[in-house]
Structure 1
Amino acid sequence: MPERTRDFGHYGAQGIKGSEAVARQLDQLAGFIATPITQQRGLMARLKYLTRSDHARKAARDAGLTVTDRTLKAWLTGKRRPSKANLAKIEAAYRAVRRQNVARYLLRRLNNGGGTRVEIHPFNQSQVDRRFQRVLEYRSLNIRHWDAIIRAWAAGDMAAQGDAWVDAIVDLGSQWGQYEYVSAVGFAA
């Protein structure tokens, strides 16, 4: 069985970790607010999402948005504008809360009907010397259990998500190590 990749890109290969590609796809499925936080509309949408219930407020505080209710009210009424550091905290808290809220829905959809077919596109070898290139091909895999991947994604734990991704791609057989790094991963829910 192959070991995990230790020095990816040493010969010029280009790609990202498969777990990161899965996280990007899950983020896309989560449907984050499209308007940037730097615009008033995007800021207000995020603040309303984070303050619409006691549960959302608690989750925002747990995610790192620790401002007073007075400051939050001033932001919501438009009397004050958050600093760049607070804008970053608001964005991080919003993404963390949104992931937690969407995780259960995505888990149900991805596990439905025996799992979801995932398309795995191999990493780019165009910059690798011909003698070091591998024969890689597009692969597809049906992932039946998304629990560990979704749980790690919702928590923002990239190490756990990497381990969960490797556990899922082991089903590719002896070639799974070639797909730890990819150019893209595609699936739909």
Structure 2
Amino acid sequence: MPERTGEFGKFGARGARGSELVARKLDDLAGYIASPVTARRGLMARLHYLTRTDHARSAARAAGLTVTDRTLKAWLEGKRRPTARNLDKIDAAYRTVRRHNVARHLLGRLNRAGRGTRVEIHPLNQSGVDRPQQRVVPFRDMNVRRWDAIVAAWAAGDAQSLDTAWTDHVLPDLGSQWGAYEYCTAIGFAA
């Protein structure tokens, strides 16, 4: 069994943790609002999403948006503008609530009734590594059938659990060379 990478990049290799790339891809699939929170359109879209129902309001409060109803009303009517700190809180609460709302749907699409989803793993970039230290790490693809722990960790925003789920439960299915794919340049899948 291969060891985990202790000093990634020591010889000049470049890439990112596979779990980070999976989280980015899941964020892409979640379909966030494209307009930035600093633009009026983006702010209003996020505020409407977070205040549409009582359930959405309580989820927004649980996610860290703790302002009074009066302040929310003033923001929605355009009478006041949130501070930069509150804009960050609004965006963070929106992403948290959105992740939670789409997690179940996304999990169903990724698991596909036990058939799973095909995942492409592009190996790390070794262009900066001297020739003697380079190793052959080919492009790989695999079918991932167990997405439950990955999506749950992503929805909770728990990077450590996501890394554990990806590295300990998915990568070993690649065989004895799975340690070479702990860091990658890209991971792609569709749902």
TM-score band, normalised by shorter chain? over 0.9
Q: Distance in 2 between matches of 1:54 and 1:83?
A: 24
Q: What residue number does 1:110 align with?
A: 110
Q: Deviations over 1:77-120 (max 9, x none)?
A: 00000011110110000000000000000000000051000000
C-alpha distance in 2 between matches for 1:156 and 1:43: 22
TM-score (norm 1): 0.98
Matches within 5 A, 1:76-91: 76-91=76-91
Q: Secondary structure at the match of 1:11?
A: coil
Is 1:179 matched up with 2:186?
no
Instruction: Output the TM-score relative to the length of structure 2.
Output: 0.97
Structure 1 residue aligned with 2:72: 72
Q: Which residue of 2 aligns with 1:57?
A: 57
CA distance in 1, matches of 2:3, 2:59: 38
Q: How many residues end up aligned between the 2 structures?
A: 189
Work out whether 1:12 is the aligned partner of 2:4: no
Cα distance in 1 for residues equivalent to 2:143 and 2:136: 22
The residue number in structure 1 matching 2:132 is 131
Residue identity matched to 1:174: S
Q: Which residue does the alignment assign to 2:24?
A: 24
Partner Cα separation in structure 1 for residue 67 and residue 132 of structure 2: 57
Secondary structure of residue in 2 paired with 1:93: helix
- Extract structure 1 runs of 4+ deviating beyond 3 A: none
Which secondary structure does the structure 1 equivalent of 2:76 belong to?
helix
Residue 161 of structure 2: aligned partner: 160
1:8 counterpart SS class: coil
Over residues 11-35 of structure 1, what are the superposed CA-to-partner deviations in whole Å (9 max), with x where a residue is unaligned? 1111000000000100000000001
Counting aligned pairs with the same residue, the percent is: 68
CA shift digits 1:122-167 (9 cap, x unpaired): 0111011111111011000100010000000000000000001111
- Computed over aligned residues only, the root mean square deviation of the Cα atoms, in angstroms, reads 0.7
